[in-house]
Chain A
Amino acid sequence: MSLLLNIAVDGIAYGMILFMIAVGLSVTMGLMRVVNLAHGGFALIGGALAHWLGRELGLPFVAAAALAIAGTVALAIPLERLVYRRIYGFGELQQVLATIGLTFLMIATVNLWLGSSLLAIPLPEALQRSIDLGFRQLTAHRVTVIVVGLAVILGLWALLDRTRFGIRLRAAVDNRDTASALGIDTGTIYTLTFALGAGLAALGGILGAELLPIDAYYPLRYMVLFLIVVAIGGLGSILGSFAAALAIGLVETASRYLLPDFATIVTFALVILFLALRPQGLLGRAS
């Protein structure tokens, strides 16, 4: 029973991290139709900035994290305007290559700046304490991750379902040409969405540093993991990404507890099997 609870808590926390990092990828892929292999790079940049602000400048965790997310967004906006905008019209293969090139540049930059060692992000004591739930002890960090993850999905739902920006974004995902013809400024929507996705990736990278340790090779190491969430969830579907991230978090955590040597193999085999049966993903539309 306690094993099941451990798997559930760790799996859900892990899934929340995956969701935060991958949701921006899913939306930009659904919206701009761009295969962005460099998305994990924003989680790396966020984590690296948080490490630098926390360790070198000694800022408290929350301030460092907030500044790091703002810094990532500030980098993502010119990147979208100057580089990605040109990539949207390319073929799939050119997009893959260009974003691999960007990934390599991000890795090389972080390495030049902070070296290739592990970039630890010091957690405040409040997050290291454990919380007594009566039947089980939980670290405050896990609880925080789960709460923030839930807040992110609720916030995204409110943003997409309740605001004018959300209406325009959904219109652009459904049919960007028509949306553009109706006078929606799709260029601005692209930039804002891209920046939002990069900011969420940075948030996930910082909060998830305990589970997915940050170092310069981060974007390559976890590239497949983030892509899996998007492919299983279905391109452009936020709810799909959420379900997929939780499912993958639980499956991988369960296999790590039960079959530690074969966790990667089991997870990937299940993913391939699932996508063979349902290529468009959980909530994707058949093309």
Chain B
Amino acid sequence: MTRPFIPALVMLIAAVAAFFLFPYNLAFLTRILIMIVLVLSLDLVLGFAGIATLGQAAMYGAGAYAAGLFAIHVWADPVAGLLIGALAGGALAALSGAVLMRTQGLTLIMLTIAVAQICAEIANQAREVTGGADGMRGIRPGKVLGLWEFDFIGITGYWYALTIAGLVFAALFVIGRSPFGLSLRGIHESPARMEAIGVSVYRRRLAAYTLGGGIAGIAGALSAQITQLVSLEAFSFTLSAEALIMLILGGTGRLYGAVLGTVIFMAVHHTAAANDPFNWLFVIGALVLAVVFFLPSGIAALPTSLKRLAKGGRHAGS
């Protein structure tokens, strides 16, 4: 029974160790943690429920803008801001999902991209509220729980983001083993059979999409509070695509695959893209093709594949 906790524990120790090993890269480490939350939300939607989406950035951006506006105009409390971000992401996912979850395949993928583009266009047009293409500035989050102030180096930001990422991971861990999570996996495997045994596939998928949207909203809110800036990039297709690539790189439906993929992707990005974003596209393009062709179940599946290989199984590497 303790075995499933070992990967989580290892990751937690690694995260604490990273704080002491890279004290000058806290902003980058925090960025990784925020992306982990986003990719975890995608793992719920795509890895568990099998909803192919290329528009998770829509909910991320909604959470970021909602938390930013809330902090500027209403209350600077960060935790309240996270809740607002989750509500905004969840509400957008529920609203758009009510239509989107009726479609599938190409239409679904295309509509998820379209929703994110509509959001970007609205944020761009509502210049007085959102700052348009200049981005939203002036977000000054208050102390976390009234105790810890956000500092210039990012120490508070790191522990704050780590706590939230840990809580999201734990929540998804529980959800994944709950009857709801198992029914999502069933829908992923065979929607027709789940429908036949009396499950409302549409409602479960909508619930998963909404929940995933709420978590993506939390990631957006975290980013708004810690970087104190929200830009139209929050809604960009590139963000959705990169989140998807991180998830596939790590392996879907496993949670720790999402964490692993994000860390590796962000580390490669950090080293390869620092000088030229276009050459970065060469790296990412080649990386994606390599994963799809040679590592279709992601890095998290490597140990299982290797074990099978060692035992001489016939389906090694599948």
Interface on A for B, CB 8 Å cutoff?
Answer: 29, 35, 83, 86, 90, 92-94, 96-98, 100-105, 107-108, 111-112, 116, 216, 220, 223-224, 227-228, 230-231, 235, 261-262, 264-265, 268-269, 271-272, 275-276, 279, 281
Interchain CA distance A228-B106 in the complex, whole Å: 10
> Which of A29, A94, A276 is the one whose CB lies under 8 Å from B106?
A29
Contact of A271 with B122 in the complex, beta carbons under 8 Å? no
**Shortest beta-carbon distance from B141 to chain A in Å:** 31
Known: A107-B281, A108-B285. A101 touches B292 (CB 8 A): yes
Report the bound CA distance from A108 to B286 in whole Å.
11
B residues near A (Cβ < 8 Å) are: 46, 52, 54, 99, 102-107, 109-111, 113-115, 117-118, 121-122, 125, 237-238, 241, 244-245, 248, 278-279, 281-282, 284-289, 291-293, 296
Whether A104 lies near B284 (C-beta < 8 A) is: yes
Residues of chain A contacted by B114 (CB below 8 angstroms): 224, 228, 268, 271-272
| Complex contact A102–B285 (CB within 8 A) | yes
Would you call B286 and A227 a contact (CB within 8 A)? no
Main SS of the interface on chain A?
helix
Q: Is the beta-carbon distance between B113 and A276 smaller than 8 angstroms?
A: no
Could you say which residues of chain A place their CB within 8 Å of the CB of B282? Answer: 104-105, 108, 112
Task: Please indicate the chain A residues that have their CB under 8 angstroms from the CB of B292 in the complex.
Answer: 90, 94, 97-98, 101
Give the chain A neighbours of B122 by CB distance below 8 A.
Answer: 265
**Residues on the B chain within 8 Å of A102, using CB:** 285, 289
Q: Is the CB of A279 within 8 A of B107?
A: yes
A108-B281, A111-B281 known; 12 new pairs, CB 8 Å cut-off, are A90-B296, A92-B105, A96-B109, A97-B245, A98-B288, A101-B292, A105-B281, A107-B278, A111-B278, A228-B114, A231-B106, A276-B99
Out of A90, A96, A108, A268, name the residue touching B279 (CB < 8 Å): A108
With A104-B281, A224-B117, A269-B118 known as contacts, the answer to whether A97 contacts B109 (CB < 8 A) is no
User: By the criterion CB–CB under 8 Å, are A264 and B117 in contact?
Assistant: yes
Q: How far is the CA of A281 from the CA of B104 in the complex (A)?
A: 12
Q: Which of A93, A228, A265, A275 touches B121 (beta carbons < 8 Å)?
A: A265
